Structure 1
Amino acid sequence: MENNDQKQSKVVRYSGNLEKQSIQFDDDGNPLFIFGGFPNFICENRNRDICVADCAAKAVVVVNQTGKFRFRYIGHAPAPKNKLFNPTGITTDSQGHILTADYDNYCVHIIDKDGHFLRFIKFQQNQPYRLCTDRDDNLFVAVKDLKSWPPGTVKQIRYLYRS
Structure 2
Amino acid sequence: MKKVQEIEHNGDKPLYKEPCFVCCNRNGDVCVADHGLHAVIVVDQFGVFQFSYRGQNEKSFRPYSLAIDHLCNIVITDNVNHEIHLLDKYGQFLGFLTTGPKIKRPGAVDMDEEGKVWIGESMSGKLHVLNYLVENMVETDDVSSTGRIN
TM range (shorter): 0.7 to 0.9
Is 1:63 aligned with 2:36? no
What SS does the corresponding residue of 2:96 show, helix, strand or coil? strand
**Partners of 2:79 and 2:36 in 1: CA distance:** 13
Is 1:111 aligned with 2:87? yes
Contact map agreement 1:40 1:54 (CA 8 A) in 2? yes
Deviation at 1:125, TM superposition (A): 5.1
Amino acid in the other structure paired with 1:32: L
- How many percent of aligned residue pairs carry the same amino acid? 33
Contact map agreement 1:83 1:104 (CA 8 A) in 2? no
Deviation at 1:136, TM superposition (A): 2.0
Is 1:44 aligned with 2:13? no
Flag the structure with higher strand content: 1
**Partners of 1:101 and 1:138 in 2: CA distance:** 15
Normalization by structure 2: what TM-score?
0.82
Amino acid in the other structure paired with 1:68: V
Normalization by structure 1: what TM-score?
0.76
Let me know the Cα RMSD of the aligned residues: 1.7
Q: Gaps spanning 5+ residues in structure 1: where? A: 1-16, 146-150
Q: Gaps spanning 5+ residues in structure 2: where? A: 136-150
Match of 1:126 in 2: 104
Amino acid in the other structure paired with 2:6: S
Is 1:21 aligned with 2:5? yes
